[in-house]
Amino acid sequence: MENEQTVIRGELALILVVLINSFGIVLMLHSGSGISAISSVPYAFSEVIPKLSLGTWTYIFQGLLILSLMILRKKFVPQYLFSFVVGFAFGIMVDIHELWVNLLPLTLPLRIIYFCISYFVICFGIALSNRCKLPIIPTDLFPRELSYITKIPYSKIKISFDVICLLATAIITFVFIGQIKGLGVGTVLAAFTMGKAIGLTGEKIDSKVKFVSFLNPNIN
């Protein structure tokens, strides 16, 4: 007999994703282990052109990802615009979390704890967003949609996307600042393992929860 699955509103799940993933990104950066790959490119631009905040560069970058998906699909996709609105809210939350996360104390044990918390928070958030049955944050949407378009497994797309973001960040900061910034051991570790971790987390969620939303009111 199969375990009964709990039904959760996708709208609530998406709000949670925006709150916790923005927190996870800022906490990972604060840990000193490096920023997460999905925010590394906006971070690079925020270092090169600091007049715009990390949150602002985040939704600019997300807008470019949405445009890229429409070009790949060769058509206008209205749901992608909703995804950009979600990304805008995400960018704002990044700036809000920076106001208090940067006040947290820093010791070596705490840095390790911060990284571990941020890693698992981001994995859970992305796995949740992929299942909420709503247009999601563009940085989460892009690898999922690219996987669908190319028929390449999500974990491979996710890892490749993260590695490309890291390389772009290294090049941008080195060329314009003269040193590589924002990348650390934690960033590289997350880039090469997070795709698999998200997949495993998603399987756990699938065994316990079903989602419904105003776009997809049916459980099946």
Percentage of the chain modeled with pLDDT above 70:
97
Print the domain residue range for 11. Answer: 6-206
For residue range 105-144, list pLDDT tens digits in order: 999 999 999 999 999 999 999 899 888 888 778 888 888 8
Please report the pLDDT score of residue 121 as a whole number.
Answer: 95
For residue range 52-68, list pLDDT tens digits in order: 998 899 989 988 999 99
What is the number of domains present in the chain? 1
Residue 10: CB atoms within 10 Å: 23
Given a cut of 60, whether residue 102 has pLDDT beyond it is yes
Place of tokens 């604060």: 30
- How far apart are the two ends of the chain, measured CA to CA in Å? 18
**Inside any domain, residue 213:** no
**Inside any domain, residue 66:** yes
SS3 assignment for the chain: CCCCCEEEEHHHHHHHHHHHHHHHHHHHHHCCCCCCHHHHHHHHHHHHCCCCCHHHHHHHHHHHHHHHHHHHHCCCCHHHHHHHHHHHHHHHHHHHHHHHHCCCCCCHHHHHHHHHHHHHHHHHHHHHHCCCCCCCCHHHHHHHHHHHHHCCCHHHHHHHHHHHHHHHHHHHHHHHHCCCCCCCHHHHHHHHHHHHHHHHHHHHHHHHEEEECCCCCCCC
**Inside any domain, residue 215:** no
Please report the pLDDT score of residue 49 as a whole number.
Answer: 93
Contact 131, 205 (CB under 8 A): yes
Place of tokens 């028929």: 151
**Inside any domain, residue 219:** no
